[in-house]
Amino acid sequence: MVDVSEHKRAMLETGFWGRAAAGALILARSTRRMLIAHRAEGTLQPNTWGTWGGAVDHGETPMQTVTREVREEAGYEGEFEAMPLYVFEHESGFRYSNFLVVVGEEFEPTLNWETQGYGWFEFGNWPDPLHFGLVNLLDHAESRSVIAQAAGAEV
């Protein structure tokens, strides 16, 4: 069972939900487009476009968290490959592990209270405004290169 009180305590101390989190930029191998979530009102940084993710629960690794979040938040039940990318480290001690999740085909995600919409986008054709976490991921040269290569784009 998830101890939500620990995530709330971390929010007061770090400004983030949890002490660590993990998320994914989802890429469809067939179209080479990326699924990006449009964050809903009531979330941190509402109305921005970002990755699918959430807090690392007690006893989870970032890889387990991203697997859970792709299933819970995006509603994807198929097979996928997850590649670790950039880890954002905040001065408060909060860490966000980014992954590129590659699925076979585009799918229609199941939206919850955290997400008001979604879109499938070609590399470089980003929606606006981007969540600061996705901006940091795309500004990270090595991660950007991996994402571009997987998407068949030039950096």
Task: Identify the pLDDT of residue 17.
Answer: 60
3: in domain:
no
146: in domain:
yes
User: Per-residue pLDDT for 13 more than 80?
Assistant: no
15: in domain:
no
* CB-based contact 76:106 (threshold 8 Å): no
123 residue type, one letter: F
14: in domain:
no
Q: How far is Cα 150 from Cα 139, in angstroms, rounded to an integer?
A: 16
Instruction: Assign 129 a pLDDT band (cuts: 50, 70, 90).
Output: very high
What is the pLDDT of the chain when averaged over all its residues?
91
Q: How many domains does the chain have?
A: 1
Task: Identify the pLDDT of residue 9.
Answer: 63
CATH assignment of the domain containing 76:
3.90.79.10
5: in domain:
no
- Residues in Cβ contact with 54 at an 8 Å cutoff, skipping those fewer than 6 apart: 17, 18, 21, 22, 23, 65, 68, 69, 72, 73
Name the percent of the chain in helix, strand, coil, to the closest 5: 25, 30, 40
43: in domain:
yes
Enclosing domain of residue 69: 20-151
131: in domain:
yes
Its sign, for the CA torsion 79, 120, 39, 132, is positive
pTM of model > 0.85: yes
User: Per-residue pLDDT for 4 more than 70?
Assistant: no
* CB-based contact 60:2 (threshold 8 Å): no
User: Per-residue pLDDT for 14 more than 80?
Assistant: no
Q: pLDDT tens digits for 43-74?
A: 889 999 999 999 999 899 999 999 999 999 99
80: in domain:
yes
Task: Identify the pLDDT of residue 37.
Answer: 97
